[in-house]
Amino acid sequence: MRMNSQQLRVLRFTLLSIAAGAVYGHFDALSVGGGPGSGYLRGAIIGAVVCLVLSAFEIALDMPWAERFRRVPFMVLLAGRSLVYLGVIVLALAASGFMSSEPSEIGHPLRGLLFSIALALIFNLLAGINLLLGPGVLVNFVAGRYYRPRLETRALLFVDMTGSTATAERLGEVRFLVLLNRFVADLSLAIAGEGGDIHKYVGDEIIATWRLGRAGAAQAMIRACFAARARLAARTADYQREFGLVPEFRAALHCGPLVIGELGLLKKEIALIGDTMNTAARIQQACRDTGHAVLASGALLEHVAELPAGIVKRALGALRLRGKEAALDLCALDALA
């Protein structure tokens, strides 16, 4: 069974915690003349326990009820998470004394406290950078995965808010930005829930990608699109109460080869370049021209053995898209009532 992106992050965090705990336990035992074997074992167990608790904490932060906590200023969120991390690690180190048959093999408590503070700050700094850049982007930069441009096949989801100009004029710029932030958060959670990567926010538009090499990636993108629509519908009362309207969106689903590489000098990002991006943008424009909220290309649907439950398609035939010489087969996707 293939793991989703959240499960992979938890697995990496678990392995890192076990390794860090084992290394600390080894040197802690050696510093007081103890044997390294017990230090390794004790440290690895502590690392695993700490990781399980903190992974549960991070998963809880992704729950809908914790949304208000994710919206606090960045420094407040960083400080709060650091305190939680520090508390969990300190408790684990305190409990480690009961796990050793030889208490003399445990080093000075102050060293454990300093190690806890350093580990909490490092993990949270990495988590903060990950939040600013997007999941996995920091790893790609550090590993140099896209230092030299490479060709990959991706599934693309382009989403933009319907009637955003009129909405901004009605609400005013400040209130519109509050609405836009809420809209983007709801859609992003639906996309991440289906294993998608947020590539970029462009005004009221979201660009997300899935690696087609993963089994069921195309179906997952379709599910994410309609999960986002269902999420907005479920929060109708909240949107009406706060803004007097419920935002809607148009979506384009496409796939194909992309050139991916690092872009920029003073500000770096992972750029996606190619005709596939341009075509997806044109499909999104075709939503407005055809009156359909969700359009998928024939190229994408070739990767879909069976549509997700509750989703139906209607072939529109080969349509000539703006700025494209060749017509493109498109299908409208809808959810059953």
Domain ranges of the chain: 5-133, 145-335
State the burial class of residue 258 (Cβ atoms within 10 Å of its Cβ: 0-12, 13-18, 19+). buried
Determine if residue 195 is left, alpha or beta; phi over 0 gives left, psi from -120 to 50 gives alpha, anything else beta. left
DSSP count for the chain of H helices, then E strands: 12, 8
- Give kind and range of the element (H or E) at residue 79: helix 74-96
The yes-or-no verdict on residue 3 having pLDDT over 70 is: no
Pick the CATH number of 145-335 from 2.60.40.10, 3.40.50.2300, 3.40.50.300, 3.30.70.1230: 3.30.70.1230
Cβ 204 vs Cβ 160: under 8 Å: yes
Angle separating helix axes 36-61 and 5-31, nearest 10 degrees: 150
Regarding predicted confidence, which is higher, 323 or 219? 219
- How far apart are alpha carbons 5 and 13 in whole angstroms? 12
Phi, psi of 207 (to 5 degrees): -115, 120
End-to-end Cα spacing for the chain? 32
Q: What's the whole-number mean pLDDT along residues 2-14?
A: 58
Q: What pLDDT score does 104 carry?
A: 44
Q: Is the dihedral of CA 184, 186, 188, 190 positive or negative?
A: negative
**DSSP 3-state percent helix, strand, coil across the chain (nearest 5):** 55, 20, 25
Pairing status of strand 294-297 against strand 249-263: parallel
Regarding predicted confidence, which is higher, 62 or 273? 273
Cβ 152 vs Cβ 260: under 8 Å: yes
29 CB-near residues (< 8 Å, 6+ apart)? 35, 36, 38, 39, 42, 105, 106, 107
- Give kind and range of the element (H or E) at residue 41: helix 36-61
240 CB-near residues (< 8 Å, 6+ apart)? 246
Q: Residue 307 carries which DSSP code?
A: P
Q: What pLDDT score does 299 carry?
A: 93
Q: SS3 for 115? A: helix
- How far apart are alpha carbons 227 and 186 in whole angstroms? 10
- How far apart are alpha carbons 172 and 215 in whole angstroms? 44
Residues of the chain with pLDDT > 70: what percent? 69
What pTM value is reported for the model? 0.75
- How far apart are alpha carbons 234 and 229 in whole angstroms? 9
Q: 36-45, 73-82, 136-145, 297-306: lowest mean pLDDT where?
A: 36-45
List, for residues 208-259, the tens digit of each pLDDT value: 999 987 778 999 999 999 999 999 999 999 999 999 999 999 999 999 999 9
Q: 25-29, 32-36, 262-266, 270-274: lowest mean pLDDT where?
A: 32-36
- How far apart are alpha carbons 206 and 121 in whole angstroms? 31
User: What's the chain's average pLDDT?
Assistant: 80
- How far apart are alpha carbons 180 and 183 in whole angstroms? 5
- How far apart are alpha carbons 206 and 186 in whole angstroms? 11
The yes-or-no verdict on residue 24 having pLDDT over 50 is: yes
